[in-house]
Structure 1
């Protein structure tokens, strides 16, 4: 699976939430997440706990740490609630944990794009766009879609950041 992703720091979360709802007429889903990142030699590996439902997702992804639209490839496995803490213990024992990221995610679906407005504990507020690419689409196709949404939302190039929230917490 592949997507084109951008991440940007935002100053006025309420204004951005309003703008997304007005421009795209989409409904909002609130998701409380707790991600634990593990030590790996390639890409990133995290266990995402979906705190509202108790289930989780083990996610491996690889993408360049650059500002602006970037291609991300990923694999994901759903984890049932009774296995999440056991899997976390196993991964910590085997790989060691880097850090934890806790956030409240405002999710909006806009066409083939997942629009995330994240309130990240101890870090601030961010916009993340994930353009889910169809098999026949290229990186450039995804960049066009991401740039269009960025422009409509008033996100400027200087707002863009690189890396993952886990990296920013370590900085």
Structure 2
């Protein structure tokens, strides 16, 4: 199963972070609109990522909910009928909820740097160090930590869990 080391953080200075990511990647980044629908499963997380262009991906992943770098194991498959698949999975499993975001993707070495604007939550940065076959988790963590420093992200800005968790927590706090 492929794996990556992930770091997620709240972003307070969107423009500075975006500028640093552009410089480090040598690109303007790729804008990707995404709607993720999460389904009720007994372990891990199952989400359907809809790119809003007729294509999507069904993604299953497992990772610990904790601050800082964490190893994710995942499996993924493409679909050209995200709406139909969403309906079938909703009927079969039930939905946890949805996350809508605009993502700007920059590649820095083997790392995907995502600068995300999440509807209802704000701005975030996510690093995904895509692990090579014989690379240790420690190497992935070291790469993530170095990039975090280079991008000017502080330890206290790190968050745990998925955007879905943050949205659910916000809804609970607001009494929904």
TM, length-normalised to structure 1: 0.96
* Structure 1: runs of 5+ lacking an equivalent: none
CA distance in 1, matches of 2:96, 2:58: 15
Decide whether the 8 Å contact of 2:116 with 2:125 is kept in 1: yes
Q: Give secondary structure in 2 for the equivalent of 1:136.
A: coil
Q: Which stretch of structure 1 is more off in the superposition, 71-80 or 10-19?
A: 10-19
Change (3 A) 1:24 1:87: closer
Partner of 1:77: 77
* Structure 2: runs of 5+ lacking an equivalent: 170-176
Partner of 1:68: 68
Decide whether the 8 Å contact of 2:24 with 2:108 is kept in 1: no
Partner of 2:119: 121
CA distance in 1, matches of 2:128, 2:75: 14
CA distance in 1, matches of 2:24, 2:87: 43
Q: Give secondary structure in 2 for the equivalent of 1:54.
A: coil
Paired residue for 1:152, among 150, 153, 169?
Answer: 150
Alpha-carbon offset, residue 19 of structure 1: 1.4
Alpha-carbon offset, residue 25 of structure 1: 1.7
Partner of 2:5: 4
Q: Give secondary structure in 2 for the equivalent of 1:105.
A: strand
Alpha-carbon offset, residue 22 of structure 1: 2.1
Alpha-carbon offset, residue 23 of structure 1: 3.2
Deviation track 1:104-124 (CA, whole Å, cap 9, x = no partner) reads 000001110000000000001
Q: CA RMSD in A?
A: 0.8
Alpha-carbon offset, residue 101 of structure 1: 0.2
Q: How does 1:67-146 map to 2 (within 5 A)?
A: 67-80=67-80, 83-146=81-144
CA distance in 1, matches of 2:23, 2:87: 43
Paired residue for 1:164, among 155, 162, 165?
Answer: 162
Partner of 1:18: 19
Q: Give secondary structure in 2 for the equivalent of 1:67.
A: coil
